[in-house]
Structure 1
Amino acid sequence: MTNLDIIIERSLAIRKRYHELELTHHGSEWTVEEDALAFLTDAALVGRHTMSQQHRWPKANTDEELEHKLGESIWWLVVLANRMGIDPKEALDNFLTKTENLVK
């Protein structure tokens, strides 16, 4: 098992636990669309924290917050890919191969 396989496995286990909490608190699991919206919210915060880190936004920000949101965004991408039946490793490999060929 590769490191990426372990990351995917851990990511999906965490998402499963969140689904259990959603059922407890709201009576239903979040939809794929709700997961996508949560990802977009966190991705936007990556942008805001990056601006702050680069002294282009007047907020005291820590690298810890930025690192957390970067990690969370990667986690969301793994979760979303899984929920939509897309292998994240294959998607990444296909993207890299296509892009490498474009920039040759």
Structure 2
Amino acid sequence: MMDIRELQECALRIHDLYGSLNQHERGRTWTREEFMLGFVGDVGDLAKLVMAQEGAREMSGGRAALEHELADCLWSVLILAHCYQVDLESVFDREMNKLGQAISAKLPPGNPGVVGQ
């Protein structure tokens, strides 16, 4: 199992390979905006696959396609974080702590889900 740093390194290796391929085939590499648009497309595909898994629509590929799109989405998030120099590990930790505290503050005292009890 990879930790977040290893995931980022792996994502960057694939990013660099895509860059080389795009440079070779098209004479240019993707911009940050194009990475974002690719991510939006992957999220759309993921939404359709989740709907299919829940029986709300027909779509081929099953669980393997769902897994593929989840991995594509994670790759995009890791690449966008890199492009914008976001330390995803520390930001995620900070934001989840804030979110946990905000949710806990709305729960009644003694609730086992309350952060810090």
Partner of 2:87: 87
TM-aligned CA deviation for residue 60 of structure 1: 3.5
TM-score, L = length of structure 1: 0.93
Moved more, 83-92 or 63-72: 83-92
CA distance in 1, matches of 2:48, 2:6: 29
Q: Which has the higher helix share?
A: 1
TM-score, L = length of structure 2: 0.83
> Does the aligned pair in 2 maintain the 1:52–1:61 contact within 8 Å?
no
SS of the equivalent of 1:103 reads helix
Higher relative contact order, chain-length normalized (CA < 8 Å, sep 6+): 1
Partner of 2:31: 31
1:1-104 paired onto structure 2 within 5 Å: 3-104=3-104
Return structure 1 stretches of 4+ with deviation > 4 angstroms. none
CA distance in 2, matches of 1:73, 1:28: 23
TM-aligned CA deviation for residue 88 of structure 1: 1.4
Greater radius of gyration (CA): 2
CA distance in 1, matches of 2:91, 2:20: 28
TM-aligned CA deviation for residue 3 of structure 1: 1.5
> Does the aligned pair in 1 maintain the 2:48–2:59 contact within 8 Å?
no
Aligned length in residues: 103
Identical residues among aligned pairs (%): 24
RMSD value, Cα: 1.2
